[in-house]
Amino acid sequence: MDGVKYISGFSRLGPRVTDLSRISSLLEALGRPQDALRFIHIAGTNGKGSIAQMLSEALTAAGYRTGLFTSPYILTFYDRIRLNGRNIPKKALDSLMSELKDTLEAHPLRNSLTQFEVTQAAAFVWFKRQKCDVVVLEAGLGGLLDSTNVIEAPLCSVIGSIGLDHTAVLGDTIEKIAEQKAGIIKPGCPCVLSAGAGESVLRIFRETAKEKGSLLTVPEKAQYSVSRSDITGSEFTYKGRFYETSMPGEHQVMNALTVIETLACLSKTLPVSYEHTLRGIAAASLPGRVEILSRSPLTILDGSHNPDGIAALTRFLKSLGERKIRAVIGMHTDKDAAEAIRLLSPLITEFYPVSGFSDRDIPAQELAKLAECSGSRAVLSEEPPEQLISRLQAEHPEDMTLICGSLYLVSYVKAAKTV
């Protein structure tokens, strides 16, 4: 059996959930594999993928058998289920799905189960069989009603930065979204919230943590200092100790602070030394997170797709100094493309809108109109994105080529091996 093909036969979204009964019943049918596992549960609008990767690297460096569950995938579906930094082998997933098929097909909610739920359930079974010491579990969407929230007592709940995204599902204000993310806080389990949250968001997390009897930790921004930040990463000190990231941007320093405090919360249940923390944070890298595809000509690939993510990208671009930037941009229909372009416009010499990289992308012509409305120049091209990128690199070697707007565009470009 082709495991990925079988999973893709399930619904992409499924009926809207109002509780966790669907995923609970599926895991019940599979023998509740989650009960044999320990989890670090991560939610947040931005940063959760980077936080998950840093934690996984640090825990693996410390000698723990570390599972990692993430979404969406960038390079291959098998990225989503990892053990000690290695993807689940295709043969293993094929065999696992062949084994689980009868249970899945017999499930009374078979036609309502989503690809995400089936993948998560299969991952839990695999992690249990691999005897993982800990699983770093990234929420898919939101927190309170996300299927990953079926776990009962994580070692720690971790929340990255909170911003506006998926507003049709999670709510149209930062406070409503924060309430959804705070839903992963569990009674008696510690929680770490990334630094920089506004007062209204902070109040929601403090109140939820108090109600649940959860110790809430927020990194102390006054305790960190960045000594270097460039396209190769950052060096910084926090509470008197040195750290470095290989992922560029000061927002990655914020993610690293969250990881440091999370590991501090786990010092008794899952101790990790300073040396392993240092190594894990430095080793972590992810495709499409201000990824340097080429230094000459400078080509940067970034999948930020919501206002806070785009704002972090613009801060990084400003840190590089004055230079012409030609932006190949593609976005999905459920994202605020107008706001993304508005934030980028002051830094962009020309936008090159693209589509055709996903079945849900915004037509390039619409993106061009948004760019022009923001006072920017937009250039439409009939070329596939990979050919357009190669041409811009060749014609403007002294300028930066930026590829941005969607993780699906990132996936398309990586698959095309553009650089």
Please write the tens of the pLDDT for every residue from 290-332. 999 999 999 999 988 788 889 889 999 998 888 899 999 999 9
Residue type, 413: V
Taking residues 178-197, what's their average pLDDT? 94
CA distance 389 to 395: 10
Q: How far is residue 129's CA from residue 410's CA, in Å, rounded to a whole number?
A: 33
**Are 326 and 198 within one domain?**
no
CA distance 39 to 318: 38
Residue 242 has pLDDT above 60, yes or no: yes
Integer CA distances (angstroms), 272 to 24, 56, 61, 264, in order: 32, 11, 9, 8
pLDDT mean over 149-157 = 97
Q: What CA–CA distance (Å, rounded) separates 386 from 390? A: 6
Q: Looking at residue 165, what is its pLDDT?
A: 54
164 pLDDT band, cuts 50/70/90, is low
- Same domain membership, residue 139 and residue 121: yes
Q: Which residues pair with 353 in a beta bridge?
A: 329
The pLDDT, as a whole number, for residue 390 is: 95
Mean pLDDT, to the nearest integer, of 155-170?
Answer: 73
How close are the terminal C-alpha atoms of the chain, in Å?
A: 34
pLDDT above 80: residue 417? no
Q: Give the pLDDT mean for 220-244.
A: 95
pLDDT tens-digit series, residues 21-53: 999 999 999 999 999 999 999 998 888 999 999
- Domains identified in the chain, total number: 2
pLDDT, mean of residues 337-342: 93
SS3 assignment, position 211:
helix
Average pLDDT over residues 58-67: 98
In this structure, are 93 and 221 located in the same domain? Answer: yes
DSSP string, 98-112: HHHHHHHHHSTTTTT
Of 233, 253, 283, the position where a domain reaches its end is 283
Question: 164 and 42, same structural domain?
Answer: yes
Same domain for 302 and 269: no
What pLDDT, on a 0 to 100 scale, did the predictor assign at position 167?
Answer: 44
Domain boundary among 236, 251, 283: 283
One-letter amino acid for residue 59 of the chain: L
Task: Please count the residues of the chain.
Answer: 419
Mean pLDDT within 205-229: 95
Please tell me the predicted confidence (pLDDT) of residue 418: 54
pLDDT at 171: 54
Confidence of residue 166 (pLDDT cuts 50, 70, 90): very low
| Residue 322 confidence (pLDDT) | 85
pLDDT for 184 equals 96
Evaluate if residue 285 carries a pLDDT over 60.
yes
Give the separation between CA 82 and CA 67, rounded to whole angstroms: 6
Mean pLDDT value across the chain: 93
pLDDT of residue 305: 77
224 and 337 both lie in a single domain: no
> Same domain, yes or no, for 309 and 231?
no
252 lies in the same domain as 387: no
Asked if 118 and 257 sit in the same domain, the reply is yes
Query: Which residues span the domain enclosing 122?
Result: 3-283
Give the C-alpha separation, 163 to 166, whole Å.
10
When pLDDT is averaged across residues 248-264 and rounded to a whole number, the result is 95
pLDDT above 50: residue 168: no
- Check: CB of residue 217 under 8 Å from CB of residue 190: yes
- At residue 306, the pLDDT reads 82
- Given pLDDT bands bounded at 50, 70 and 90, which one contains residue 267? very high
Please give the pLDDT value at position 360. 87
Are both 197 and 274 inside the same structural domain? yes
List, as own/partner pairs, every contact residues 232-235 make where C-beta atoms lie below 8 angstroms and the sequence separation is at least 24, other chains included: 232/292, 233/282
Q: Write down the pTM of the prediction.
A: 0.92
| Residue 213 DSSP one-character state | T
Mean pLDDT on 64-73: 94
CATH at residue 390:
3.90.190.20
Q: Which two tokens stand for residue 362?
A: 């915004």
pLDDT at position 170: 56
Please give the full DSSP string across 369-399, using - where no structure is assigned.
HHHHHTT--B---SS-HHHHHHHHHHH-TTS
- Strands ordered across the beta sheet of 233-238: 224-230, 233-238, 241-245
| Whether residues 49 and 180 fall in one domain | yes
- Domain end (from 283, 302, 322): 283
Domain containing residue 213: CATH number: 3.40.1190.10
Q: What are phi and psi of 128, to 5 degrees?
A: -60, -45
In angstroms, rounded to a whole number, what is the distance separating the alpha carbons of residues 241 and 245? 14
Q: Are residues 225 and 332 in the same domain?
A: no
Q: How confident is the model at residue 177 (pLDDT cuts 50, 70, 90)?
A: confident
